[in-house]
Amino acid sequence: MAVPTSVGAAVEAASARYPLAKGFRPSYGTAGFRALAELLDSTMFRCGIMMAARAIKASAITGICITASHNPAPDNGVKLVEPSGEMLCQEWETYANDLANAQTDSDLIAQVASLLAREGIAAPGGGIVMIAHDTRPSGPHLAEAAAAGVRCLGVEPQMCGLLTTPQLHWMVMSRNRGQPWAEADYCAALAGAYQQLVAGTQPLGQTLYMDCANGVGAPKMAALAQQLAGAGLAVDLRNTGEGVLNGGCGSDFLQKDRQLPANYADVPAGARCCAVDGDSDRLMYFTPLADTPGKALLFDGDRIACLSAMLLRDLISALPPGAGDVSVGIIQTAYANGAASAYIRDNLGCAVEVTPTGVKYLHEAAHHYDCGVYFEANGHGTVLFVKDFLARLEQLAGESRAAADLLALSVVINQAVGDALSGILLVEAALRRRAWGLDQWAALYTDLPSRQLKVTVADRTVITTTDAETRCASPAGLQAAIDAAVAPVPRGRAFVRPSGTEDVVRVYAEADSQEAADALAGAVAKLVHAQAGGVGPAP
């Protein structure tokens, strides 16, 4: 397979500046590539080539976001945006891996030729790839590497600078739909729809204390909040960049440690607080606990899913008969708390589907419903509306406030990907419409105590899973041992899976008491360490 001479020459000329680090074997994981930033020049360059090919193939705009999200500041990574604004389609992940792992310039050119031939792409060709980055110091340099890759295929890189990951997804989606797509349009669209959703209701009356994880969410929420000035939503931004990105703060820290983030010592118990992660695509609500200083009560993705489903149910039940039947489904992963899944099934009467971890899987499943609500327990998620349902709502919006509100909801909540900033508006609107405080939200159900641990092993790929990651297929015997550990534990459940964003195996356990959940997680972690090649001392 021959690559067009100009493309081959461009790849060869540019790739010398972005060599593959010795011994580095990048692997497209749960949400793209992640590694120490200094390893990633070649990966970004090659992702640039690929997303240019994707843009030519679709005759549309694609996107690249340079971010390692919740991971530590020295890491970086890349999330790739389809023309629809969604995450890269799974069929192209193989190309991403093949390109990223080409060992020499000639291998790389051969991989590019193979991709172009298999997809019937005529390069060089026109198009645009929008490139953004988070606040990591390595972001601008890696964005340049991606841009150099884009140019090799004759496609124009558009440097968008600092954006949240979901903002870039939203901009690509809107631009390809021919709608206003600038950052200011994002703020205006979300703020306008929020105002529609809360019209006629009383403000919640307390400040929302937002932990920005020292990341890009801080300036972006500040810009959005300006548009919300008249809407009765007062936000006090904390961890806005003065400290370490995701260091002792942010949604992942809260979820794993259940401790108050840095700079919350003055926030009163019971106050409404939320936290996002480094690229603002995860959202966690929380409040300082009165009886255990320094600890937080969490309102995680499961609870946000319940609140979203309740808002949908309220609005759908108020639609006029012409709206027809509306299917609502809730998509979760194995990390969903057993109490949340039971509440959704038994009290909300919604279908519950479970997929493997990774928004790409949940997002796909959510498309099966008129309204698909998906949230991972870690706070990643959104609510998707199918086109046909939106068209029905458009017809009814003139005569039905519920239809107009559902349309507004579909604008408030990012239709491209999970978005913490738009999630905040969803939660605030849902609470405000019910005149609810955190107490009522907490009272929906009581979480089963749970614990998550990490185990380091020599090669995490020795662990494979089935049944949406709830069962371990290899190494042989590990699942039987986990079953034996779970069996005597009242309301016990546990699973293990290799992370797709960190070099660890994750362990999850829940039980009827915190002590039992902790003990079960510890016992399962020991099994993983012993049977899957644990590194260092046993947990």
Annotated binding site for Mg(2+): 69, 277, 279, 281
Alpha-carbon 31 to chain mean position: 8
Counting contacts by CB under 6 A, is residue 380 touching ligand G16?
yes
Q: Which one of the spans 116-124, 283-291, 357-365, 406-414 is the region binding ligand G16 (CB under 6 A)?
A: 357-365
d(CA 258, CA 373): 25
Tell me whether the omega of the peptide bond preceding residue 268 falls within 30 degrees of 0, making it cis: no
Residue 69 known to be catalytic = yes
Minimal distance, residue 483 CB to ligand G16, in Å: 22
∠ CA(46), CA(51), CA(52), 5° rounding?
95
Q: Does the N-terminal peptide bond of residue 124 adopt cis geometry, omega within 30 degrees of 0? A: yes
x/- letters, 392..431, toward ligand G16 (CB under 6 A): ----------------------------------------
359 interacts with ligand G16 by CB under 6 A: yes
376 touching ligand G16, by CB under 6 A: yes
Contact 60, 84 (CB under 8 A): no
> What's the min distance (Å) between Cβ of 218 and ligand G16?
17
Comparing C-alpha atoms, which of 310, 343, 285, 275 is closest to residue 433?
A: 310
For position 41 contacting ligand G16 by CB under 6 A, the verdict is: no
| Side chain identity, residue 106 | S
CB nearer to ligand G16: pick between 171 and 359: 359
Q: What is the number of alpha carbons within 13 Å of residue 288 lying toward its C-beta?
A: 18
Confirm or reject binding of residue 281 to ligand G16 (CB under 6 A): yes
With respect to ligand G16, which residue has the nearer C-beta, 428 or 469? 469
30 touches ligand G16 (CB under 6 A)? yes
CA distances to 144, 193, 308, 393, 417 from 388, rounded to whole Å, are 40, 20, 20, 9, 19
Burial of 490 (0-12, 13-18, 19+ CB in 10 A): exposed
Two structure tokens written together for 333: 């992963």
Give whichever of 25 and 177 is closer to ligand G16, judged by the CB atom.
25
Under rule CB under 6 A, residue 70 binds ligand G16: yes
State which residue, 115 or 457, has the beta carbon closest to ligand G16.
Answer: 457
Measured between alpha carbons, how far is 484 from 489 in angstroms, rounded to an integer?
10
Residues 502-521 that bind ligand G16 (CB under 6 A): 502, 506
Q: Which span sits near ligand G16 by CB under 6 A: 51-59, 122-130, 373-381, 449-457?
A: 373-381
Identify the residue among 282, 363, 432, 529 touching ligand G16 (CB under 6 A).
282
- Name the residues annotated as catalytic: 69
Give the binding site for ligand G16 (CB under 6 A). 30-31, 69-70, 277, 281-282, 357-359, 376, 378, 380, 499-502, 506
